[in-house]
Structure 1
Amino acid sequence: MAFDGLVMAAVAQELTSGLVGGRVEKIQQPTTHELILVIHTREKGKQRLLISADARDARIHFTQASHVNPLSPPIFCMVLRKHLEGGRIRSVEQIGLERILQFTVDSRDELGRPGEKHLICEVMGKHSNILLVDPTTNTILDGIHRYSHAVSRYREVLPNRPYLSPPEQSKFDPRKLTEDQFREILMSGDIDLKVTDIFLQRIAGVGPLTCRELVFRAGLAVDYRLEHCGDYELTQLWQQIQYLGELLEKGYFQPTLLLDRRELPVDFSAIDLSHLKFFKKETGSISHVLDGYYRKIIELRQLESFRHSLLQTVRKEIGRLKKKISLYQKSLASAEKADEYRIFGELLTANLYQIDQGKEARVQNFYDPAGTETIIAMDSSLTPSQNAQEYFRKYLKAKNTRNAVTQQLEQAESELNYLDAVDTALSQAMYQEDLKEIRSELEEQAYLKPKIQQVKNRSQKEKLRPQPMSFLSSEGFTILVGKNNKQNDYLSLRLASEDDIWLHTKDIPGSHVIIRNPAGEVPNQTLLEAATLAAWFSKSRQSGKVPVDFTLRRHVRKPKGAKPGMVIYDNQQTLYVAPSEELVDQLAAKKD
């Protein structure tokens, strides 16, 4: 993340043009760390300004997102309302090239007397804060994060304490540097350091991403070291510092948002990032870039939090089942002696006339073709006949145990296979809606208590119909892939026709895959591509070769009472394919 002084300069420029002269109509504090200021201007009407002092997401920008406010506003929000609501913004000023923005607001007190207040926003990672300061006395009226000297030796943020700016970093402003000063700064550094590290340490307003971009634009590798710099390299680097100073003076910012292949945010900057060529770039105002980046980042965190809570439930059940299966297997091993008990009982019964009461009996084993002698342990307090009956009793008990445990073991193993499939679907889910479908499935299977009432409206049910992933093979065939067990059932048992080709990884949890087959025959290339999709959307995504079964949809059926996604099939053939994310992207791009 690159909220550096350069980004703050771009924000200051945008807020100056958009807010100066505007009236503060409403102040809200939706979370412990965030403020929303609704500001009305003649030119642009109402605008929503978000200010965050969150340790991970500290920032300031216009926003279009809506926020849920607490029923009773926090104390800091009440203080701001008292001093700022109804006031007009006189100026927006960045302090040097630091990540500090100061709003000067003209307002009136309870008696109607005019006054001036400073709202100071410090975007500094875990030290971020938002403070309301009275400039006439330089005292803090309040801060969104209060702390005393017990937390910070440098300053206190408490009401009626003097305001101290964060300590200066003793860096050089690129707008005021001469070439000689620049060369002196570089050559006074450790020659073993990278040029980017020296820029970061000595040049104000630049973060790691901006430093790499400046070095790249100078025609050098981003990891270029100072020891390799000659006069030519120093001249090229100086030209980039000049460019940076001119950009800051004239405000020629180029806000850029970097996205990966899945449209997920990677980073942002106030300038174009030409050294990062393998990412999609989205441009716009600095607020558009920041709002888009943080909105997606927060959505991703919510997605991961939701995923984690569901995985906890599923993996707890998987652990419980594994323990249960282990106990069943031990019971089954003990019950395997059932036939031995029956044979002992029959041998004792057949030889009662020649066996004396005691601790053991030696009899000929007529079940053994060699007719060997078998020693049978007996209870000396019982007669031989009673010992035979005891062995028959043990035989019946072991036999009944074996039958019951075998059935219970099969059920537990089936449930474990089902939960493994749920675990795989959760791990690979990319969107909130996918996780909601899986949660709904877990509620239906009684692993979770329902949170949402059942949908009764027919139109709402239509909207909730599963939406499997859709791909287009290189030969033009539609390939559908289920994202979870409920989608697998819908895809295989309702959506697919009997002549479609059905694919699934062999004995491995994963997605059901359908090749729509209106022509009656599927080419080998399409079959291989569909099998590769089945391998990628399975638990064996990271394997080298994955077995994938395929058959006609008519040969797939669901046993009575089986859990979602569980089917049986026959007449299958097996392909061995390597999972390929690149192929997934290619087939998805074809569909788009």
Structure 2
Amino acid sequence: MALDSITLYHLIKELQPQLIGTRIDKIQQPEKEEIHLIIRGSGKNMRLLLNAGSTAVRLHLSSESKKNPLTPPMFCMILRKHIENGKIIAIRQVGLERVVTLTIQNYNERGDLQNYDLHLEIMAKHSNLILVDSETNIILDGIRRYSHLLSRHREVLPGRRYVAPPSQNKIEPMGNEEKWMQKILETPLDRRISDILVMFFDGISPELAREIVLRAELDPNSVLDNCGEIDLSRLYQAYAYFLIDKAVLPLAPCVYYASDKDKQTPTAFSIVPYRQYADLYRKDLSSLNDTVDLYYTQKNTSNKNDAKKGSLRKVVQDHLSHVIKKDGIYTETTAKAQKGLAYQKLGELLTANLYKLTPGMKEVTVEDYTDPEYQPLTITLDPNLSGIDNAQRYYKIYSKAKSTIKNTLPLQEDVRQEMAYLQSLLLSIDQTANDTELGEVYQELIDQGYVAWKHGKGDDARHSGGKGLAAGKGNRSGTGGKKAKEAPVYSIPHHYSSQTGKTIIVGRNNKQNDCMTWREAKPGDLWLHVKNIPGSHVIVPLTEGEEFPDDPTLLDAAALAIYYSQARGSSHVPVDYTHVREIKKPRGAKPGMVVYEQNWSLLLTPDQDTINRLLSTET
């Protein structure tokens, strides 16, 4: 979600006493559309972040430091020239417009004090950050430049006069309930109330409109025609709570997450608890600035991780597509060779009937002694060959087909093992819970030669989960070109509790699977895995003398094995289980790959309540 007008109003109100009077020590531009003002005031340093990107436009004090480019962009240099070492003397919002203006006082080139306005325009894809000479209203530069070719309303170019974004001509907050109702009733009766609030009244975003409707005890999809006078009165009271009484609104900022187990990927934030997010997990904070900072920092990290996952998935998918194509070629080759095996019988029949063959014959009909009814069989002959040579010709076709199958089947088996391994990598990528786990999958791709490690970006590339990504070229030896140093194991498998209190350990990637199975599990512990489907290793630690866990724990462990596999959501899934001592890793096998001969199996269809219960116990 983006900063709406009301949130912006309260954020500026909170920031004013912290920013006014501070000096700008440094100016940085770590990203294309993001500026950091390092400011100092009241004996402490602060970092004011201003982002004009289309997806995360905002301003707030931030504790996150980002790496800067070696050469500062032009806009950053312009800011340094005019406002570095300057003093922030004002921060304001005009009405409920989503434009924030910082006024900075600094000495110009002539040594005179001069004011500069830094306008942050929060307008989705049209957002911008523009530096303006306060006295002349002339643009000094914008983080996004454009001419009349892109906008008929104005140009954002150095030397042009600054023109504010076009007004939306919406109705300003109204303190008179009767007049407010009259305005509402002037709109078409078939329109939804929430749409009317957004389209015609200033300062209302879609999220706030839904909240106003819910606080009026109305259905979010209610249309005006279904609202009576009492409904409209309740609607106005909710409207007034946010917009008329905004100066005294008691703030209780919070960030929302899908569940209490996923506190790294926020869903939304609000200035007070919103009813529309009542089903989400809520984290309360004391500062609105901290709320905005936390939301966007975590959202940015989540988006970067999603991008890294996408990059890794593409690499694996490309290799998987190539392997699937090879498997198809081998299948086609084997199927064609299978037909050649039938030529052995033809050669034998010709050998048994050589006395019937005379030079120049094009075909011969013989009794098929391999047929229970001795049906006649006509065999095509080469008239230029003798009878024995015709028989040898069929034997050669048979021998070639037999040799082709013998040579192709091991290759196809290798390809199918690689296919299963690549599918396990896709599952590992999807199941990564944090940047460390993603970095482990990336390191595995390097170790297995699927990704080439770019020298010079070593540690950053190998542990960031995607930086410096480049597809490997045909090397499957596990060296990845130059052998990269094996990354330390940073993450540990995930631990859950069964309904009887037993510990269940689940690996989320091949590194975790290998670590828990070969290093940490005891020979007598129970090991589980979905049958013939890529998935996580699951371990149930057992005490000495205990051969199997109790049935509820076994079923819970099997449910987790299914949940963390490609069979998630399927029914009647077979799950193999055995003791760790029965697990073997073939020489040269890829990470996470094991074999076993003695095992038990069960069929299970986990219900969602069981999964939710188990996930809630994660430690």
TM range (shorter): over 0.9
Do the aligned residues in 1 keep the contact of 2:99 with 2:119 (CA within 8 Å)?
yes
Aligned-pair CA distance for 1:435: 2.0
* Residue of structure 2 in register with 1:277 after alignment: 278
Compute the TM-score of the two structures, normalised by the length of structure 1.
0.94
Matching residue's letter, 1:537: Y
Matching residue's letter, 1:30: P
Secondary structure, aligned partner of 1:92:
strand
* Residue of structure 2 in register with 1:203 after alignment: 201
* Residue of structure 1 in register with 2:542 after alignment: 517
- Paired with 2:564 and 2:570, the residues of 1 have a C-alpha distance of 12
Aligned-pair CA distance for 1:447: 1.4
Do the aligned residues in 2 keep the contact of 1:2 with 1:267 (CA within 8 Å)?
no
* Residue of structure 2 in register with 1:449 after alignment: 452
* Residue of structure 2 in register with 1:14 after alignment: 14
* Residue of structure 2 in register with 1:498 after alignment: 523
Matched, 1:549 2:570: no
Matching residue's letter, 2:5: G
- Paired with 1:349 and 1:92, the residues of 2 have a C-alpha distance of 102
Aligned-pair CA distance for 1:128: 0.6
Correspondence list, 1:376-395, <5 A: 376-395=379-398
Aligned-pair CA distance for 1:55: 0.7
Secondary structure, aligned partner of 1:568:
coil
Total equivalences in the alignment: 586
Do the aligned residues in 2 keep the contact of 1:94 with 1:100 (CA within 8 Å)?
yes
List per-residue Cα deviations over 1:494-535 (Å, max 9, x = no partner): 322222111111121111111111161311111111111011
* Residue of structure 1 in register with 2:489 after alignment: 464
Matching residue's letter, 1:203: F
Q: Runs ≥4 in structure 1, deviation > 6 angstroms? A: none
Matching residue's letter, 1:35: I
Matched, 1:439 2:442: yes
Cα gap change, 1:69/1:339 in structure 2, threshold over 3 Å: closer, same or farther? Answer: closer
* Residue of structure 1 in register with 2:185 after alignment: 187
Secondary structure, aligned partner of 2:106:
strand
- Paired with 1:46 and 1:421, the residues of 2 have a C-alpha distance of 47
Secondary structure, aligned partner of 1:37:
strand
Secondary structure, aligned partner of 1:569:
coil
* Residue of structure 1 in register with 2:482 after alignment: none
List per-residue Cα deviations over 1:304-361 (Å, max 9, x = no partner): 1111111112112222222212221222122224543222223323332331122122
Matched, 1:483 2:499: no
Aligned-pair CA distance for 1:145: 0.6
Correspondence list, 1:31-42, <5 A: 31-42=31-42
Secondary structure, aligned partner of 1:590:
coil
Aligned-pair CA distance for 1:121: 0.9
Correspondence list, 1:301-316, <5 A: 301-316=303-318
* Residue of structure 2 in register with 1:61 after alignment: 60
Cα gap change, 1:110/1:400 in structure 2, threshold over 3 Å: closer, same or farther? Answer: same
Cα gap change, 1:396/1:49 in structure 2, threshold over 3 Å: closer, same or farther? Answer: same
Higher relative contact order (CA 8 A, sep 6+): 1
Specify which of 303, 318, 321 is matched with residue 319 of structure 1. 321
- Paired with 2:345 and 2:239, the residues of 1 have a C-alpha distance of 94
* Residue of structure 1 in register with 2:586 after alignment: 559
Do the aligned residues in 1 keep the contact of 2:440 with 2:487 (CA within 8 Å)?
no
Q: Matched residues, percent identical?
A: 36
* Residue of structure 2 in register with 1:416 after alignment: 419
Aligned-pair CA distance for 1:380: 0.9
Matching residue's letter, 2:580: R
- Paired with 1:461 and 1:378, the residues of 2 have a C-alpha distance of 63
Q: RMSD between aligned alpha carbons?
A: 2.1
* Residue of structure 2 in register with 1:161 after alignment: 160
- Paired with 2:228 and 2:369, the residues of 1 have a C-alpha distance of 99
- Paired with 1:547 and 1:221, the residues of 2 have a C-alpha distance of 45
* Residue of structure 1 in register with 2:355 after alignment: 353
- Paired with 2:608 and 2:443, the residues of 1 have a C-alpha distance of 28
* Structure 2 unaligned blocks of 5 or more: 464-484
- Paired with 1:62 and 1:247, the residues of 2 have a C-alpha distance of 26
Cα gap change, 1:339/1:214 in structure 2, threshold over 3 Å: closer, same or farther? Answer: closer
Do the aligned residues in 2 keep the contact of 1:536 with 1:581 (CA within 8 Å)?
no
Cα gap change, 1:60/1:351 in structure 2, threshold over 3 Å: closer, same or farther? Answer: same
Correspondence list, 1:82-121, <5 A: 82-121=81-120
Do the aligned residues in 2 keep the contact of 1:557 with 1:568 (CA within 8 Å)?
yes
- Paired with 2:335 and 2:210, the residues of 1 have a C-alpha distance of 65
Which stretch has the larger CA shift, 205-214 or 3-12?
205-214
Aligned-pair CA distance for 1:147: 0.4
Do the aligned residues in 2 keep the contact of 1:253 with 1:270 (CA within 8 Å)?
yes
Do the aligned residues in 1 keep the contact of 2:323 with 2:415 (CA within 8 Å)?
yes
Matching residue's letter, 1:393: K
* Residue of structure 2 in register with 1:30 after alignment: 30
* Residue of structure 1 in register with 2:431 after alignment: 428
Matching residue's letter, 2:440: E
Matching residue's letter, 2:386: T
Aligned-pair CA distance for 1:372: 3.3
Matching residue's letter, 1:81: R
Secondary structure, aligned partner of 1:304:
helix
- Paired with 2:49 and 2:354, the residues of 1 have a C-alpha distance of 94
Matched, 1:46 2:81: no
Specify which of 176, 179, 193 is matched with residue 178 of structure 1. 176
- Paired with 1:113 and 1:145, the residues of 2 have a C-alpha distance of 29
* Residue of structure 2 in register with 1:224 after alignment: 222
Aligned-pair CA distance for 1:368: 3.4
Matched, 1:577 2:604: yes
Aligned-pair CA distance for 1:150: 0.3
Matched, 1:537 2:564: yes
- Paired with 2:9 and 2:490, the residues of 1 have a C-alpha distance of 48
Aligned-pair CA distance for 1:111: 2.1
- Paired with 1:39 and 1:473, the residues of 2 have a C-alpha distance of 52
Matched, 1:238 2:236: yes
